[in-house]
Amino acid sequence: MTLFIGGCFCRAIRYEANVEPAAAGACHCRDCQYVSGGAPAYVIIVPKAGVAVTQGSPRVYWGRSALDNRVGRHFCADCGTPLFGETEANPALLAIKVGSLDDPSLFKPAANVWVSAAQPWHHIDQALPWFTKGPLHFDQRG
């Protein structure tokens, strides 16, 4: 099992995830650009049941994705650090935001998603598979 430990910038929230990742990659959708400050969101997708918040309590903002799914974005209400993402379309999974990890070098991207929404100055790693939308739309290139 892989152990992911992390938290927010001000250290008010801490978490541990003792799970194997289901996926990892970069999401270039416009919503992720908003919450990341312009860049794609780099995430490690893990089984939600394997994640434990050990200190503090993240705040959650629920919105709608481009595909009209409800999406919850967990963050620290004190410092604003993005921590997790979840969707009602797949409630058993949680996306850990790589920037919140104590050791972000654990991140090994496997794909880029929502490349159709990427800004022209976003770097798309051509060595990785990419999808114009999400990977379930079967519109893969690469």
Give the pLDDT confidence score for residue 2 in this predicted structure.
73
In the chain, alpha helices (H): 30-36
Q: Is the pTM of this model over 0.85?
A: yes
Give the pLDDT confidence score for residue 28 in this predicted structure.
95
Top-level class of domain 3-133: mainly beta
Quick one: DSSP state of residue 101?
B
**pLDDT tens digit sequence for 133-142:** 876 544 444 4
Pair 35, 73: CB distance under 8 Å: yes
pLDDT band at 67 (very low <50, low <70, confident <90, very high): confident
Residue-wise over 57-80: b if at least 16 C-beta within 10 A, else e? ebeeeeeebeeeeebbbbbbeeee
Q: Give the torsion through C-alpha atoms of 64, 84, 38, 76, to 10 deg.
A: 100
**pLDDT tens digit sequence for 18-59:** 999 999 999 999 999 998 999 999 999 999 999 999 999 999
Quick one: DSSP state of residue 37?
T
- What is the rounded distance in angstroms from the CA atom of residue 18 to the CA atom of residue 8? 18
Give the pLDDT confidence score for residue 133 in this predicted structure.
82
Give strand pairing partners of 62. Answer: 72
Q: What are the extents of the domains in the chain?
A: 3-133
